[in-house]
Structure 1
Amino acid sequence: MHKKHTGPIIATVLAAALGIGLMFLINNLWSSQTIAVNNPIINKVESESRSSDLKSIIHEAEKSVVQIEGQNEYSNITGSGFIFNDKGDIITNAHVVRDADVIYVRTANARVYPAAVVGMGQDTDVAVIRVPQLAGHNALTVETEKQAETGDEVIALGSPHGFQNTVTLGIISGTERDFSVDGFNYDNAYQISARITHGNSGGPLISRETGNVIGINSVGTEDGTIGFSIPIVDVIDQVTKWTNEVQNDQLDFASSSDIGKDTKSDELIDSAEYITTYFLDSIAIRDYVAAYTLLGSSMQLSNSYTEFRDGYTHFADLEYGQPSSKLLDDNQIEVTIDVTVKTKLPDQLETKEETTSYKFIIGHENNQFKILSITNTKSQG
C-alpha cells in the first residue's frame, strides 16, 4: 500500500521544487532589469505641473514689488524695487535713491511706508533700502547661482501702480553687455527685449520658467526697444553684506506723518483706481486674502474673511472695464467700474454671464488707502 502512494508523492515534491525555483529565477530577472514606463498622460501632467501659469507668476511677484518715491528740495523721484528677504529689505537701483532726501515705498496693496538706505553702490547701480514694517512680508526668490542665457523668456515688473502697463514680457536677447551711464558701470549686463522705462528702474527681471528673480531692471534705450538688466548673481553677495551689517537704529527714516500730506488730486485718483483694479485682479486669480486686506475696518467687521471668500468662490471668470473716478470730500475717491462675471453654481452645468456696475469708495484709514465701501447695480445679464 505504501508503494502505491510513493510515486505521486515524489511527483508532487518535484513539482513544488520546480515551481519555487522558477519563482526565484523570475524574481532575479525582474530585479536586474529597469522597467521603462512611457505614458503620454503622465508626461503631460508632469510637464504642465512644471510650467507655471503666467498670470499667477505676475500676481504673486507683484506682492513683493514696490513703488519707490523719493523727494528732495528740487524734485520728486520715482522708481521700483522688490522685497528679497525677511527683514523688509528692498533691492533697487542706486540712481533711484541717491538724490533723495526722504524715501517712501508704496506696496501692491497701496500701503505707504517710510524707508531708509541700507547700502548703495558707487560704481554699480545697485542699492538696498529697508522698511521695517515689511519684515516677514512676501519676498521674491532670488537666483543665486545660475546665469541666464540668450533666448530665456523673462518678465519685467515695475512699480505696482498702473499694473497693466508695468508688466512686460520678452527674452534675454544678449548677455555680457558692458557700458557706462550717468557715472555707473554696467558690466556683464543682460540685454532684454522687454521694455524698460523710468518707472521700471529697480524692478525685478523674473525667469518665466522658474519664477525666480534673475536681474535688476536698470536702463532702457530712448526708443524703448532694448532694455538692460543687472544679473542678480553678480551683486547678491554685496547686497547680502549690506543687509547683515546694518541695524534699524542706525538708519534714518522719513517721518510717517508726512506721508500723503501734499498728495495731488490726480495722484489720489491714480492710487484709488489702482486699489480697485488690484482688488478685482485678486478676486480673478482667487487670491481672496490679498483682496480682503484692501477692505477698510468697518467692512471687515461686518464681513468675516470666510463670508467674504464664500461670496466669490462661485466666480468662474472675471473681467473689468476702464474705471471712471471723481474726487469727493475729505479726499475720498469714488471709482465706478463695469465688471463682467461668469458664475457657475454647484447644481448648474453651464456658466452664467452677468455685467455689473460697481461703485468703490476709497479713502484714508490710518494713513493708508482702503476700500471703504462697495455698492453695485446690475446693468445687464
Structure 2
Amino acid sequence: MKRSWLFSVLVSIMIIGGGIAGVFYITNAVPEQMSMSAVLDDPAKEGAEGNEVPKETQDIIFESQKLVVQIELEDGTIGSGFLYNEKGDVITNAHVVANQENVKVVTADSKKMPGEVIGISRDTDVAVVRVAGLKGKKPLPIRQDGSVELLDEVLALGSPLGLQNTVTRGEISGLDRTLDIEPFHYKNMYQISAPISPGNSGGPLLDRETGEVIGINSAKLDEETIGFSIPIGDILPVVERWSESPMKSLPEFPELEEQVQSPVTGTDAEQATYLVQYFYDSINQGDFVTAYSLLSSSWQEDISFEDFRSGYNNTLTVQVDNLVADPQGDHVEVTAFLTAEETVEGEVEMKKYKVVYPVKTENQSVKIWSGKGEELDTENEEE
C-alpha cells in the first residue's frame, strides 16, 4: 500500500513497528547536514555482479536469526526484538509495546511464548520484554564501544509486514541524526540504506563483518530507502537498569493509542513456506538439531534424531529452487523443488527432488508434519 508524498514539500517519517503504520511528522526537521554529510547508496541488489552473499555473512545471519523474535500484540499488530541477555530479556522499541504489559513472542522456529514488559521509556524509544522461555539462551553479541563509521556494511533483521526473519543489507549512510516524533526524542541516530518496513521496529542492526549488534532499527523516511537506528551503546545503561530492577509500574502512551494499526500480513501459506525454507537453511548450515526441532512430534516419534541426521550423511548442499504453498483447510501443503549435491560412490552428483510437506500448527507452533518425496528425471527436464 504505497503512498505518494512530495518530499520537497514535506518530510515525513514513519514509525515502523508494533503495527503502527501511521505517518508522523518531524517537529524538528531532519537537519540540513543530511544532504551534505550523508552518503546515500542504493541497497545491494540481489544477483548483481560481485554481490553474492559471502559464506561468513550467511553464517552470521543464520546464527543471529535464532535470537531475533517477532513480537505480537492482542490486536494483531507486530514488531521485532532480539535477545539481550541470558535472563531472557528482549530489547525492542517502546512504540512496539506501548500501553501493553504482556505480549506474545514468536521465535525463529515458530514457538510462541508469553513476554512481560519490564521496562519502557517515554523519552527514548526503547523497551525490554522478559521472556521466561528464553532464559538461559546465549544472547546476540553487543558492541559496547559504539565505534561505527560511514559506509560500514550492515544487516537489518526483523519481521517487516509480519514476514518473520527477513534480512536486508545496506550501509551506514549518515551519523548523528536528530529526530523528534512525539513522545520520543531521537538523537545520535545512525542513518542506514538497508530497506526496512513496518514490523522491523525493535529488530537489531548488525555489523556485517562481526555480527555484533550496533543499533535498534526504529524509523524510516516514508517511501524512501532511508532508515534510522538507535545506537545500542546509547541505551545499554537504562536497559541494564531495567534488567536488574524491573519497573513496578509502566508509563502510558496516550499519543499512540489513536494511531492506525497494521495487521500481521504473514499468511498461513507464507509462514509455511518460510518454515520449509528455514528447515533447509538449517540443513545447509549443518544445524541438524534446529532442523529436527521443526518436525512434528509424531514425525519425531517415527524417526530418531540419529537416523534423521544420518539421512544427510551423503548430502553436501541442498538448494531450494521453488516452494509452492497450497492451503488445505487445517494445514498448508508445501511442495519443495530441490537441487541436491550428493556424493555417490565417491563421486559428486547433482540430483533434483520434489518433496511435499504438510505444515500445520502443533501446540501453538508451526511444524512440518511429514514429508513425501520423489527424485525427478533431470535428463527429461533438460530435453
TM range (shorter): 0.7 to 0.9
Equivalent pair of 1:155/1:194 in contact (CA under 8 Å): yes
Equivalent pair of 2:69/2:108 in contact (CA under 8 Å): yes
Deviations 1:256-291 (A, max 9, x none): xxxxxxx99973222222211111111122211110
SS of residue matched to 2:371: strand
SS of residue matched to 1:56: helix
For residue 28 of structure 1, what is the aligned residue in structure 2? none
* Identical positions, percent: 40
Indicate which of 352, 372, 380 corresponds to 1:375: 372
Q: What CA distance in whole angstroms lies between the structure 2 residues aligned with 1:239 and 1:145?
A: 16
**Which amino acid in structure 1 is aligned with residue 271 of structure 2?**
S
Equivalent pair of 1:154/1:172 in contact (CA under 8 Å): yes
**Residue 336 (str. 1) matches residue 335 (str. 2):** yes
Q: What CA distance in whole angstroms lies between the structure 1 residues aligned with 2:356 and 2:307?
A: 20
**Which amino acid in structure 2 is aligned with residue 206 of structure 1?**
L
Q: What RMSD in Å do the two structures reach over aligned CA positions?
A: 2.5
Q: Shift of the alpha carbon at 1:138?
A: 3.9
For residue 54 of structure 1, what is the aligned residue in structure 2? 57
Q: Shift of the alpha carbon at 1:361?
A: 1.2
Q: What CA distance in whole angstroms lies between the structure 1 residues aligned with 2:129 and 2:265?
A: 28
SS of residue matched to 1:145: coil
**Residue 246 (str. 1) matches residue 246 (str. 2):** yes
Deviations 1:100-129 (A, max 9, x none): 475211110011112111111101110111
**Which amino acid in structure 1 is aligned with residue 113 of structure 2?**
Y
**Which amino acid in structure 1 is aligned with residue 107 of structure 2?**
T
Q: Shift of the alpha carbon at 1:301?
A: 2.1
**Which amino acid in structure 2 is aligned with residue 357 of structure 1?**
K
Q: What CA distance in whole angstroms lies between the structure 2 residues aligned with 1:102 and 1:324?
A: 36
Equivalent pair of 2:77/2:264 in contact (CA under 8 Å): no
SS of residue matched to 1:206: strand
Q: What CA distance in whole angstroms lies between the structure 2 residues aligned with 1:203 and 1:265?
A: 17
- The 1:138–1:332 alpha-carbon spacing in structure 2 relative to 1, beyond 3 Å, is farther
TM-score (normalised: structure 2): 0.76
Equivalent pair of 1:339/1:357 in contact (CA under 8 Å): yes
For residue 312 of structure 2, what is the aligned residue in structure 1? 312
Higher helix share: 1
* Structure 1, 274-283 or 227-236: larger mean CA deviation: 274-283
**Which amino acid in structure 1 is aligned with residue 141 of structure 2?**
T
**Residue 275 (str. 1) matches residue 278 (str. 2):** no
Deviations 1:282-322 (A, max 9, x none): 11222111101111112222222121112123222221133
For residue 257 of structure 1, what is the aligned residue in structure 2? none
Q: What CA distance in whole angstroms lies between the structure 1 residues aligned with 2:286 and 2:336?
A: 19
Aligned residue runs from structure 1 range 1-381, under 5 A: 53-72=56-75, 76-100=76-100, 102-159=102-159, 162=163, 166-246=166-246, 267-329=267-329, 331-345=330-344, 347-349=345-347, 351-381=348-378
Q: What CA distance in whole angstroms lies between the structure 2 residues aligned with 1:101 and 1:268?
A: 27
SS of residue matched to 2:275: helix
Q: What CA distance in whole angstroms lies between the structure 2 residues aligned with 1:97 and 1:250?
A: 14
Q: What CA distance in whole angstroms lies between the structure 2 residues aligned with 1:272 and 1:282?
A: 15
> Which protein has greater RCO, CA pairs closer than 8 Å, 6+ apart?
2
Unaligned runs of at least 5 residues, structure 2:
1-53, 251-262, 379-383
> How many residues get paired?
312
Q: Any runs of at least 4 consecutive aligned residues in structure 1 with deviations exceeding 3 A, and if so which?
A: 99-102, 160-164, 263-266
Q: What CA distance in whole angstroms lies between the structure 2 residues aligned with 1:327 and 1:138?
A: 36
